[in-house]
Homo-oligomer: A and B are copies of this chain.
Amino acid sequence: MRLIVVGFGVVGQSFAKLLLSRSADLYSIYGVKPRVVACVDSKGSSVSSAGLDLQRLLDVKKSKDTIGEYDKRSSHLDSTHIIENVDAEVLLELTPTNLNDGEPGTSHIISAMRSGKHVITVNKGPLALAFPSLLELANYNGVMLRFSGTVGGGTPILEFAKRCLKGDRIISFRGILNGTTNYILSKMEEDLTFESALDDARQKGYAEAAPSLDIDGYDAAAKLVIMANWIMNMKVTMKDVNRVGIRKIKLSDIQRAHKRGNAIKLIAMCDNKCLIVKPTEVSKTDPLYVNGTLNALTFSSEHSGQHTIIGRGAGGMETASAVLRDLIEIKDATFEHR
């Protein structure tokens, strides 16, 4: 399978390392032989129909800060031009999430689907803002759109919901979809104020300098939108989420909850009608009560009860493994053997 990789940050580089370490048994076990025929980062591009040398790509990225230095002849091609014109089966859209207008991810995805390419993305922006129309476009063009890495990092939350409960029905789900806010709230349980906990999260690299995406609940809301569309067949976008962040949570709120045997968590929930992200008291005996940067989701089903899945919701290699899962799924569904 020929891949175009757009975005070569932590996830892109982890994916290249994963392919290097697994190339032999990916073919023997799954019949997948991925070949990266083009790669684009924010500063340059490189194209090779024979397949780029992934180790050299990683070395160039490390030493020169852009894969544009890989091959001068193809270093200044525009990402859309590459997506439309390079022969490939799958686009890996790995650019950073932008929840304002979804760009450049949305344009990349649309270009790929219009030129008959399957799309795997870890970019929440396009899906959070336009899931229903993007899925329609994928169906119209007869291509697959997969996005396991957008929710839960490497933890297969979407797969669990879609594949493990056949014959049953998921009625609702709720959980912790953002590791940064969970880290901050966990630290506040250790008696840090919100500001100190946020500083601590920044120092550890869990929170950005401008942390609104996490602490105001946008990131959790984006993931909730993706889950509601994919699992519950709702046709919703970011504007349908009733969203409250954790900015106003005080240490005294945490302490009051503690006295009741509870903790405050930023809970995202969906019951097939409403989408809500808000700080919510959770019993410390609830499986959802997890600390640090962990994510946790509880699905309530009609017949088989409640199931909780817990995992690290982030990480370069973890998310890269979700991209690989999607790739194998596309291979299995399309029976391509290249």
Contacts and interface: CB of A to CB of B under 8 A. Distances in A.
Contact of A285 (B163, B165, B291, B327): B291
Interface string A288-324: 0011101010000101111111111001011011101
Contacts of A160: 156, 160, 164, 309
A62 B64 CA distance: 76
A81 interface: no
B154 A304 contact: yes
A99 to B, nearest CB: 25
Interface residues of A, number: 45
A135 to B, nearest CB: 19
A166 B287 contact: no
A26 B168 CA distance: 10
A308 B289 CA distance: 13
Contacts of A320: 303
A2 interface: no
A328 interface: yes
A205 interface: no
A325 interface: yes
Contacts of A165: 156, 325
Contacts of A30: 166-167
For A163, A285, A287, A301, the residue with the greatest tally of chain B CB atoms inside 10 Å of its CB is A287
Contact of A167 (B26, B290, B305, B317): B26
Interface string A136-147: 000000000000
7 closest Cβ contacts across the A-B interface? Answer: A154-B304, A156-B164, A303-B321, A167-B324, A304-B321, A308-B310, A159-B164
14 contacts: A22-B167, A26-B167, A156-B160, A156-B307, A163-B164, A164-B164, A166-B329, A287-B296, A287-B310, A303-B317, A304-B318, A305-B315, A308-B309, A309-B309
Interface of A: 18, 22, 26, 30, 153-156, 159-160, 163-168, 285, 287, 290-292, 294, 296, 301, 303-312, 315, 317-318, 320-322, 324-325, 327-329
